[in-house]
Amino acid sequence: MTETASTSEQPWPVRVVSQKISQWIGRLGWIWVDGQVAQITRRPGTNTVFLTLRDPSADLSLTVTTNRDVVDLGAPGLNDGARIIVHARPEFYAARGTLSLRADEIRQVGLGELLARLEQLKKLLAAEGLFARERKRRLPFLPRRIGLITGRASAAERDVLTNARRRWPTVDFRVINVAVQGPSAVPQIIDALAVLDRDETVDVIVLARGGGSTEDLLPFSDEALCRAVFACRTPIVSAVGHETDVPLVDYVADVRASTPTDAAKRIVPDLGEELRLIGQAKQRLDRSLRGLLDREQHRLDALRSRPSIARPLTMVDVRAADVAALRDRATRNLAHRLDRAGTEIEHTLARLRTLSPSATLQRGYAIVQREGGAVVRAAGEVSAKERLRIRLAEGSLAATVEG
């Protein structure tokens, strides 16, 4: 058992919805539409021509119905891939639920008008900073993997792969083949950019295409493609056309290569040149190292030739001789002083002996002392019966004063 959603409004029949859509679209009136012819269908026996008009920047298309005379008058010789402007009125075909355009005038866009539009778009993108030099990134010296967006089996693909591998044989590529002109070119290139930009192993992306007319290179001046290149995190190299061809994507890319061959020279180094530079650097390093060793050897030789290094004991010998001389002088001075002091002591000792009371006693004199030890110098200093001590040269006597 299933439940059905209830609604408070009465549902509309399909025919009513189709009629209302047709009425609303009909009120849009006549408009000018710019696009690229993806397909032209001329039915035999009828004047009606069906065109599939494709947006140059998106995977969108509309059917345009017009009269053969309108095509022959406004765009004679119209072919697939041409850029046109149609004056048309939107129509909704209710029976099939499809939208188409009914055109009463068709103009093929000329080269002058295309260039004017490109110049206006160039000024717009430059004003928004998409061409700013300071935001451009440097390419890696040796990328691990290179993303290449180019036409299938094209000369541009061959030039990039051949020249890059000739310069660095082990270079790794991830190639995505896309349409490089026509209405499907821009969507395919944008999708390929998104795929390679998400690939963490891809270090640089190359957009490559050979030369061609201005109309052929129009996809690489598309606004959507320029903005997609600007939004990429991976550095972009633009190698579109010849050196004189400058599509707008060249201004947005991080590096502009004049040709696909030039792109190969920019994305990988030349192995032979790098080996030559390494050899030169090795030679310079060897010369520098030998020069440094020679200078240091000269310095060592100069240091070793100095007397203090060549004959290190010379200074010690000189100082030892000085010390020995000083010691001799000190010994002589000390001996002289000792001799002189000894002589002075002997003279002093002789004088002391001469002046000593003991010497006087040796000559027969005596020293009279009272009991307290005081020397008696006069007879009046003692009294009768006082005991005295008489000191002789040898020994002493006790005496009593009689009178």
pLDDT at 210: 86
pLDDT, tens digit (0-9, with 9 covering 90-100), for 379-390: 777 888 888 888
pLDDT at 8: 52
Question: What is the C-alpha to C-alpha distance for residues 12 and 19, in angstroms, rounded to an integer?
Answer: 11
Where do we find the tokens 């035999």? 44
Contact predicate 165/187, CB 8 Å: no
pLDDT at 73: 83
Q: Which residues of the chain have pLDDT under 50?
A: 1-7
pLDDT, tens digit (0-9, with 9 covering 90-100), for 207-255: 999 887 777 788 888 889 999 999 999 999 999 988 777 889 999 999 9
- Reported pTM: 0.56
Contact predicate 369/376, CB 8 Å: yes
Going by their DSSP bridges, the two strands 204-209 and 236-240 should be labelled as parallel
Chain mean position to CA 17: 63
- Residue type, position 271, single letter: L
Q: Which residues contact 107 (CB under 8 A, 6 or more apart)?
A: 74, 75, 84, 85, 86
